[in-house]
Amino acid sequence: MANPQCRGPPNPNEAPIADRGPVPPTPEAFVQLHNGVAMPLMQRVDDLGKAFWAFTQANDLHGRLVGRPSAEALYNAACCLSRAVEEQVKRCRGSADGKIPGDLPLAPGSIVAPEAPPAVGAFTSARAFLDARADLAGDLLLRAIHCGGPTCPSAAHMQADADLYMLRKLRPSLFQSALQQVAHAIRKCALLSQSRAMGHGWAMPWRRD
């Protein structure tokens, strides 16, 4: 299958589309879009916005395939936003300490990953924009944990992942909540396995909402 490369959208806050139309819902297409397109884009700061939308498209494709979101795609989308916040902080004047700057104006052309949410036009200051983007990253991380069970993403990976550095720094309470959710999923999985080992004929189903 040829690489479904994503071209830049005409609207800077609109998802890019594949060059050759909708991606067919096959496992191979998901792997190609996630691993072959989105992951390489994610390695370059200037392509974080494109990577975000490629992971979003991969997540949508996963839903069409198996009826549920992709924990991997959601997790990596969260990483794209967290890295974009980190890079934006580095570029803002007066932010050498790694903190979000005060009410500095958003200079045209200075936005990291302008294609990614939130819509830049809704904000007048760097702080408000970056706070909103950090919140979106946190929401995606929680969604990834919710649909990924106890192992994807793992607590150890989340704590060590450099891509989530800014999310850990700016949203420590949310990050601790995420780790607690992973621990809860592990306990739930252990109880489910124990129930099956004892020969019980039923078990509490996983929540999908």
What DSSP line would sit under the chain, residue for residue?
A: ----PBPPPSSTTS---BTTSSPP--HHHHHIIIIIIIHHHHTSGGGHHHHHHHHHHHHHHHHHHHSS--HHHHHHHHHHHHHHHHHHHHHSTT-TTSSPPSS-B--TT--SSTTSSSPGGG-SBHHHHHHHHHHHHHHHHHHHHHHHTTTTT-HHHHHH-GGGHHHHHH-HHHHHHHHHHHHHHHHHHHHHHHHHHTT-S--PPPP--
The overall average pLDDT reported for the chain is: 80
Q: What is the pLDDT of residues 26-36, one digit of tens each?
A: 999 999 999 99
pTM of the prediction? 0.78
pLDDT the model gives residue 193: 60
Instruction: Give the pLDDT confidence of 48-85 residue by residue, as tens digits.
Output: 999 999 999 999 999 999 999 999 999 999 999 999 99
pLDDT in tens, 157-204: 999 999 999 999 999 999 999 999 888 888 777 665 655 554 544 433
Q: Higher pLDDT residue, 144 or 104? A: 144
Give the model's pLDDT for residue 174.
96
